[in-house]
Structure 1
Amino acid sequence: MSTLNDFIPKPYSHTLENGEFQWSAPSNIALVKYWGKKDNQIPANPSVSFTLNNCKTITKLAFTKKDLSTKRITSSDSFSFDLLFEGQPKEDFKPKIQKFLERIEVYLPFLKEYHFTIDTQNTFPHSSGIASSASGMAALAMNFMSLEKALNPAMTDAYFYQKASLLARLGSGSACRSVKGQVVVWGNQANIEGSTDLYGVEFPNEIHANFKNYQDTILLVDKGEKQVSSTVGHDLMHNHPYAERRFAQAHENLDALKAIFKSGDLDGFIKVVESEALTLHAMMMTSMPYFILMKPNTLQIINAIWKFRNETQIPVCFTLDAGANVHVLYPKNVIEKVLQFIKDELVGYCQNGQYICDEIGNGAILL
């Protein structure tokens, strides 16, 4: 099993004066939720997610070695970067990047030797309530790893992706699940080989054909900024009266999903996934201070999905992130019926009638 020390590099064999890389990385949707974390972005419980395909961040990283002899670019004892979002300077996001660089410097000791220009954009509407920190931090981590691989060409692919996931986790916990694989596990789980708190791993066991090409239509109920950030929400699990039972439940549900993925049991999948979504929000409603991120239209959608499923026996279900938007999950072979149901009955609950059609993807891509 890898340790953190395995990701601290030895002196590099190559040098590079300047260049650029460009990666896309997708968002992901957790089926078993992680809520609560320890120091250094370590999860309090394991999670498993579907990697998305269409909702992604595209990030270009340009880099130039600092010319310290002329002092034209800042000194060697600080990070130096410009940040652009969709071509425009994005000053309010720079503190998050600064914090990320501070966390990962021990693993990428070259960071202060370069000036970086980070140019990033999302394929989904900004502030649409879709977790962009996961895709954004994963895309940035992939770029930094491409630079490290140029400095150390002997690096293996396995190491490259493990370390990219580890770095992404230090930017945003769930970002470690956006690097590689269709179904990704993050967190130690006794009976899932290779699972670790340090980075996400591709689910190593059998997955039934029922779960291939799974669809995720994201209903944008509320595109405003959350009144409670995920970081604050995670911290509220420290003294939560139900925390320990919740962490045990996540392990149990991941065990259950392992068997469900093998058997193709869609009814079992629906029970675990919907229960996990509601449990996540139950933890928010029972923390101190307590808060509610669902909106009235979130509940209207959930009830409409339950009614539709009962009446038609079509295996469609919902899950939620830490917000009001609803992810509608279903197998590809019922796509026409479910999309018609969404258009007929659910679009009216979406802000400005907006929704996004997505499906399972494979992770980050070098462009």
Structure 2
Amino acid sequence: MTETNFVLERYSKIDSGSHSWSSPSNIALVKYWGKKDNQIPANPSVSFTLDACKTTTTLRYEKLENPGESFSIDVFFEGKKNEAFKPKIETFFERIYRYMPFLKDYHFIIETSNTFPHSSGIASSASGMSALALCLMSVEVNLTSDQTLDTERSRSVIEGSQEHYFYQKASFLARLGSGSACRSIEGDLIVWGSHKAIEGSSDLFGIKYPYEVHENFKNYHDTILLVDKGEKQVSSSVGHNLMHNHPFAETRFKQAHDNLSQLIDVFKEGDLKTFIEIVESEALTLHAMMMTSLPYFILMKPNTLEIINRIWKYRQDTGSHVCFTLDAGANVHVLYPENEVEKVYEFINNELVAFCQNGHYLCDRIGFGAKKLTM
């Protein structure tokens, strides 16, 4: 599959319409950190798709009488007009215009909201851009379907033979808005980035992990401890760019490939011990890259370290399979299998919640991707 497969060459024009999708965030187990031109990852990654942490987006569109050279967009976040988000959406539209040439034919109203704090170390750009990409794909379906067909038959364009293309192009488009967004379209384990041992893996879009997964990794839980709910100290885009000329970049990229190779057997055999070693090492390596870049940053807070040390002690004392991972921020994702939910949840409430900002945390678990909402 190449980029030319996603170029839309012919479409009809309809007057107006609207679509709504909810799309989840995701948490990378093997981290994507560093990218090439056109949002191509410097290394492959694999993630759990989440369930409760999601963005809901409604896209309304109306045909312009006199289309111009620029995009016509209004953005509303949590019910209020948000000019700050507009430049990012315009950049996204510029990147995908080749694949969706109808974007300048319409005025778009984008209404979006999150179930979690924006820019706080949870991948809001992943859920937000994936939800928007899916809305745009629904517009494309409308513009390329025979308009004389009834609603049920038109819907079959997605549900039938074109379903794979629909979600694959949505992932491809989402990547051009935010790299990790391409991993939020489907679930529950998603691979993004070309890897020699994973059939179908691609730098252009995410794919469902294609091999056997042990029951140990079904219904995994993720409790997100909000150590710092403020704006991230360093945006993901800035962080990725710091990998250019980083002294340890090539070693890091090789490590990611090796860890993903190792996870193939881990997922098949249900090896929780090795899973924990890889996932925690990946989290700490991500932060090590930030601490050894120029300029350098320390994204963890004292309470982040306190939580990590308490998880290690609890695991040593009890034999639990609880572990942590981190995104590019201070918050801690506490991962644990289904059969340990009650004990780990008690541990979190008794020992970890005290280190969260205002005692706030989010309970989530593995999810299975985005959902189209009825208007």
Q: Which TM-score bucket, shorter chain as reference?
A: over 0.9
1:145 aligns with 2:137: yes
Amino acid aligned to 1:235: N
Q: CA deviation at 1:127?
A: 4.4
Q: After superposition, what is the alpha-carbon deviation per residue over 1:311-343, rounded to whole angstroms, capped at 9, x for unaligned?
A: 000100000000000000000111010010000
* Aligned partner of 1:115 among 107, 112, 116: 107
| Distance in 2, Cα, partners of 1:47 & 1:205 | 15
After superposition, the Cα gap between the structure-2 partners of 1:127 and 1:287, relative to the gap in structure 1 and judged at 3 Å, is closer
| Distance in 1, Cα, partners of 2:59 & 2:120 | 24
Secondary structure class of the residue paired with 1:291: coil
1:42 aligns with 2:40: yes
Structure 1 partner of 2:210: 204
Structure 1 partner of 2:19: 21
1:354 aligns with 2:352: no
Secondary structure class of the residue paired with 2:139: helix
Unaligned ranges ≥5, structure 1: 69-74
Q: CA deviation at 1:214?
A: 0.2
1:261 aligns with 2:259: no
Aligned length: 359
Matches within 5 A, 1:166-185: 166-185=172-191
Q: After superposition, what is the alpha-carbon deviation per residue over 1:64-96, rounded to whole angstroms, capped at 9, x for unaligned?
A: 01122xxxxxx3321001100111100111110
Matches within 5 A, 1:92-131: 92-131=84-123
Q: CA deviation at 1:15?
A: 3.2
Secondary structure class of the residue paired with 2:85: helix
| Distance in 1, Cα, partners of 2:172 & 2:62 | 25
Secondary structure class of the residue paired with 2:234: coil
| Distance in 2, Cα, partners of 1:240 & 1:336 | 43
Structure 2 partner of 1:222: 228
Structure 2 partner of 1:308: 314
Q: CA deviation at 1:29?
A: 0.1
Matches within 5 A, 1:36-115: 36-68=34-66, 75-115=67-107
* Aligned partner of 1:322 among 313, 325, 328: 328
1:135 aligns with 2:107: no
Q: CA deviation at 1:125?
A: 3.0
Structure 1 window deviating more from structure 2 (150-159 vs 179-188): it is: 150-159
* Aligned partner of 1:251 among 252, 257, 266: 257
| Distance in 2, Cα, partners of 1:356 & 1:323 | 16
| Distance in 2, Cα, partners of 1:41 & 1:91 | 24
Q: After superposition, what is the alpha-carbon deviation per residue over 1:258-301, rounded to whole angstroms, capped at 9, x for unaligned?
A: 11000000101000000000011011111111111000100000
Structure 2 partner of 1:33: 31
Q: CA deviation at 1:128?
A: 4.0
Q: After superposition, what is the alpha-carbon deviation per residue over 1:192-239, rounded to whole angstroms, capped at 9, x for unaligned?
A: 011000000000001101000000000000111122211111111111
Q: After superposition, what is the alpha-carbon deviation per residue over 1:36-57, rounded to whole angstroms, capped at 9, x for unaligned?
A: 0000100000000000000000
Structure 2 partner of 1:241: 247
Q: CA deviation at 1:126?
A: 3.5
| Distance in 2, Cα, partners of 1:288 & 1:52 | 33
Secondary structure class of the residue paired with 1:92: coil
| Distance in 2, Cα, partners of 1:307 & 1:79 | 54
Structure 1 partner of 2:153: none
Structure 1 partner of 2:154: none
* Aligned partner of 2:194 among 188, 191, 203: 188
| Distance in 1, Cα, partners of 2:283 & 2:5 | 35
Amino acid aligned to 1:186: W
| Distance in 1, Cα, partners of 2:64 & 2:294 | 48
Structure 1 partner of 2:10: 11
| Distance in 2, Cα, partners of 1:350 & 1:311 | 23
Structure 1 window deviating more from structure 2 (146-155 vs 259-268): it is: 146-155
| Distance in 2, Cα, partners of 1:81 & 1:226 | 26
| Distance in 1, Cα, partners of 2:299 & 2:112 | 28
Normalized against structure 2, the TM-score is what?
0.94
1:157 aligns with 2:149: no
Structure 1 partner of 2:297: 291
Amino acid aligned to 1:58: T
| Distance in 2, Cα, partners of 1:126 & 1:98 | 19
Normalized against structure 1, the TM-score is what?
0.96
Structure 1 window deviating more from structure 2 (230-239 vs 304-313): it is: 230-239
| Distance in 2, Cα, partners of 1:344 & 1:43 | 39
Unaligned ranges ≥5, structure 2: 146-156
**Residues 126 and 181, structure 2, Cα contact 8 Å, conserved in 1:** yes
Q: Percent identity?
A: 67
Secondary structure class of the residue paired with 1:110: helix
Secondary structure class of the residue paired with 1:269: helix
